[in-house]
Structure formats: structure tokens, C-alpha cells
Amino acid sequence: MLEETGPSGPVSFFRDAGVREDCQNRVMGRLDVARAMSFDGAASSYDRFRPRYPREFFDDLADVVGLSSDSRILEVGCGPGVATEEMMDRGWSVLAVEPGERLARVAREKFDDERFAVEISTFDDWDAHGRHFDLLFSASAYHWVAPALRWVKAADVLVEGGHIALVTHEVDEQGTFHDFVVQTRELRMSYGDVDELESATVDHVRSMIESSGGDIGALWEALSMQGTDALAGELFAAPDVRSYRWSTAYSTQEALGLLATYSLFLVMDPTRRAELFDRLAAIIDRDYGGRLTRYYVTVSAVAARRAT
């Protein structure tokens, strides 16, 4: 069952379709390692400007998984701790795996708590040394894990009955931030932007969820900008899928700060990026009064590891 949480409370959607090969409408085809590692150079900005995750999601996660202060949580790709903040505030203990040294340092300095530790490695190369966890958690990062390892390694590091919980943001096709994206499409593309800022409708997000056929791998490939055809198969039970609608406002500086943390801009030539951002800032100030509102649909999927 999928539940959508919004201003009117939970709304149930059905999810009972078979797995479909065409559930990925936005496949990039392969992982781009340079882009994956580009976030490390923007660690402080990433921590400052990236959107957080709804508290309601963590409430639901605790209920579905049965989390407590004794639960063993592994976070894959913690970055500077954007999602980790909420888990630490709830008294949970987290071991994180993060390939970016600067990002890991920001997270260590932020928490400075014995309940938090981070090991610098990609999840692909990380050695669990026999450790097993009750929950593998990843926020907007799991698509960077090699498809061949993604679900097998997750199952290997979880205890029987353990869970994998993935969460990501989709951008709703409404609000002035969306209008700005549409207005500046040609300008951005002239600077090499492949227009990954394009928003999805709520119906499109819903159709991707329904098309996953109860496979968390199929769902995450459909939602991911770097999706492949890797399925979880028999390793994980059908996921509990939920979505949360919310919005936030950005000043011109904050909007450009957010855009500057996206990998497509991080790998852009700095001179061209600065020129483009100056032009974008002028448009936000002139046409939107220096303020943009962005609507998000945060999608989560929690699946139990099947017994072997």
C-alpha cells in the first residue's frame, strides 16, 4: 500500500501492477563517477542549501521498522548529514559510509557524538567486517551504488528481518521555482545544462510507483536520474511506499546556492557557471521579486529483507 501525506492527511493509492520494463522514463544509462564525487567540493554549501526531509517520514520509519536507541543503523552516502540530523535528534545510533572526505568531516564536526561514526569509502568498496545492521538507510544517494551490488550487498549486511529504507525528493510541477525553470530552459541548455531540473507531476510520480510492481529496485530505478535495470527480486519484500508533499521558499541567493550543489553545475567550467548564475540571478530578481517557491514530493520506500 502507498500512502501520500499532505495537508489533508494520508491518502491511499493502489499498487498492484506487474513489473514493467518501461518503468524508467528518465534513465541516464550509466553511473558518472566524476559527478558522484563532485559533491565533496561543495560540502558546506550542500549542508546549507539542500532540502531536509519531513519529520513525518522519520515518524513513519520508526513505526514501520520498529526503531529504538538500540537499533543498528547503517547510512549509505550520508554527505554532510542532511538526513542524519533527524536520526541523531531522535537518539538513534548511526554508522555512515561516505566516500567524500570533506563531506564526512562536516558530518563528524556537526554531530561530535559517540552515537555517530563515519567510514570513508564508497558502499561498493566498503568492508562490513562481519557487522550486520537492523536498517540500511540512504537519502538521495543510493542510485550512486553500482547496480550489480546495490541489492545483493544491502541484503548481505542486514540481519534477517532487517530493512532497507530509501528516501528521495521529487519536484512538483507547480510554484514559481518551476516557472523559473521553464522560463530559463533554453538559457541553461546553451551553457550545457541537460535540463535535469525538469519537474514531475504528482501523477507522474504516482505512475512510476504503481509501475514498480512491488519491487523496491524497480521503483528506485524509475525515480533515479541514473537508473538502470537492476531489480531487488527475491531479496526484499514488497516495499511500504509513502509520499509527503511540502513546499519551501528560496531567496535569490538561496535558489542559486541550491542549484550550485547539483552535480551538473559542479562539473561545469567555473567561469561559465558564474556567468550563467549571474544571468539567472537577474531573472529571479526582475521577474520573481527575488523569491521562488518550490514544491516537493518526498518519496520513501521501506522493504524488509527476506529470509534466505
- What predicted TM-score, i.e. pTM, was given to this entire model? 0.85
The domain limits of the chain are 2-172+202-246+296-304
Question: What is the reported pLDDT for 21?
Answer: 32
Helix, strand, or coil (residue 130): coil
Cell triple for residue 270? 567555473
The number of angstroms, rounded, from the C-alpha of 209 to the middle of its chain's C-alpha atoms is: 15
Tell me which of 3.40.50.970, 3.40.50.150, 3.40.30.10, 2.30.110.10 is the CATH number of domain 2-172+202-246+296-304.
3.40.50.150
Quick one: 303 exposed, middle or buried, by C-beta within 10 A (0-12, 13-18, 19+)? buried
CA geometry: angle 247, 253, 257, nearest 5 deg: 75
Residue 261: what residue type?
Answer: T
Helices 202-211 and 216-223: crossing angle in degrees, nearest 10, is: 150
In sequence order, what are the beta bridge partners of 200?
172
CA dist 110 and 133 (Å) reads: 23
**Number of residues in the chain:** 308
* Short-list 51, 50, 52, 53, CA closest to 5: 53
pLDDT one digit per residue (tens) for the chain, 308 residues = 344 444 333 333 223 333 223 333 333 334 465 666 677 777 888 899 999 999 999 999 999 999 999 999 999 999 999 999 999 999 999 999 999 999 999 999 999 899 999 999 999 999 999 999 999 999 999 988 999 999 999 999 999 999 999 999 988 888 999 999 999 999 999 998 665 666 666 677 777 777 777 899 999 888 876 657 789 999 999 999 999 999 999 999 999 999 999 888 888 899 999 999 999 999 999 999 999 999 999 999 999 999 97
